[in-house]
Structure 1
């Protein structure tokens, strides 16, 4: 029975990890759709989003079954509860990738971001995907040192987000209000994607150490 229980815990963590991986793939594809611009890829991100939502529901149900049948305590209880919260964060990460793809589709055949700020989104997309992949790894490994690195890596995307707002406020901005709104929203989506990865990392540290710092 104990072996089966531990296998269920491992399966729960693996499922959350799989969700992280799918969210990272969604953001990678959404970024390519945005910068292409690529309407077909944007449509694929939008269509495939439902699979991540369904996986989130299944993850929550699996966690609730573990709580009801096994009544975990201490570290195991932290793992189960944190996994439920992590699944919710990954669901939001996937939704943010969906928002990026939606803007890409709405502005097609024009690229939603002007050429002079496109490199910022290339970099934000790269960092966001790396953070999603790192979140997948730390959820499964429960390594607090790797989790701490995610919190550090988030600083880079925060800096890009802040810099883009400086660009938007510059009197030299010549791309109009609509493009400015798109850039502001898109930058926020990438920044929030990274923030949710940081929340995952914080919970992994909590699972491993019991510390909320």
Structure 2
């Protein structure tokens, strides 16, 4: 019976990693479709969201079944509950990548904007892609240094998001109404993608250390406190 439980826990982790990699690839594809007005790639990202949603449903069913049949405790319970919450967050990250792809598809064959605004959006997409890949790596390794790097990337995205407001309000940009709407939405989508990455980083930190990272406490502080207890 214990062997079956171990196998099911392993499957839970494998499926979560698969979902994380799908969410990372989706943002990477969305970023490329945004940068180069690539219609085919945008369509692929939109279709891929169905796989991410299906993985979340499977993980939900598996996690609830484990809780009901095995009644895990201590670290095992923390693992199952964390997996359920992370899966939900990954589903939202997939949705955000799909939203970016929708905007890119809607402007095809043109790019969503030009000049300084376009450069900013591409830069945000690149950093969001980094967040996605680091989240996938973190799910595989549970390396808390990766968790810190995700927070650093999110800080960059937050600053770029703030910069987008300055550009939007700059009369020199001469943006049309649709370009203005696209810029507001895209900057928000990618900023939120980074926020969800941080949420997962902090969830993994809790899984490893047993300590919750508060809003005013960095992952590095949590890791240090964990090391001092050892």
TM-score using structure 1 length = 0.94
Paired residue for 1:66?
66
SS in 2 for 1:116: helix
Task: Tell me, in whole angstroms, the C-alpha distance in 2 between the residues paired with 1:153 and 1:37.
Answer: 25
How much has 1:180 moved relative to structure 2?
A: 1.1
Gaps (5+ residues) in structure 2? 214-230
Paired residue for 2:47?
47
Task: Tell me, in whole angstroms, the C-alpha distance in 1 between the residues paired with 2:169 and 2:13.
Answer: 43
Q: Deviation per CA, 1:101-124, whole angstroms, max 9, x where unpaired?
A: 111111112211223322222222
Q: Give the 3 Å change call, closer, same or farther, for CA 149–35 of structure 1 in structure 2.
A: closer
Number of aligned residue pairs: 213
Q: Give the 3 Å change call, closer, same or farther, for CA 4–142 of structure 1 in structure 2.
A: farther
Task: Tell me, in whole angstroms, the C-alpha distance in 2 between the residues paired with 1:62 and 1:140.
Answer: 19
Task: Tell me, in whole angstroms, the C-alpha distance in 1 between the residues paired with 2:84 and 2:70.
Answer: 16
SS in 2 for 1:191: helix
How much has 1:88 moved relative to structure 2?
A: 0.6
1:175-190 equivalences under 5 Å are 175-190=175-190
How much has 1:41 moved relative to structure 2?
A: 1.5
Task: Tell me, in whole angstroms, the C-alpha distance in 2 between the residues paired with 1:89 and 1:174.
Answer: 36
Task: Tell me, in whole angstroms, the C-alpha distance in 1 between the residues paired with 2:95 and 2:146.
Answer: 25
1:67-106 equivalences under 5 Å are 67-106=67-106
Task: Tell me, in whole angstroms, the C-alpha distance in 2 between the residues paired with 1:28 and 1:145.
Answer: 22
Q: Give the 3 Å change call, closer, same or farther, for CA 32–203 of structure 1 in structure 2.
A: same
SS in 1 for 2:173: coil
How much has 1:177 moved relative to structure 2?
A: 2.1
Paired residue for 1:136?
136
How much has 1:26 moved relative to structure 2?
A: 0.8
Task: Tell me, in whole angstroms, the C-alpha distance in 1 between the residues paired with 2:144 and 2:166.
Answer: 34
TM-score using structure 2 length = 0.87
1:169-180 equivalences under 5 Å are 169-180=169-180
How much has 1:7 moved relative to structure 2?
A: 3.0
Gaps (5+ residues) in structure 1? none
How much has 1:37 moved relative to structure 2?
A: 0.8
Cα pair 1:148 1:205 within 8 Å, conserved: no
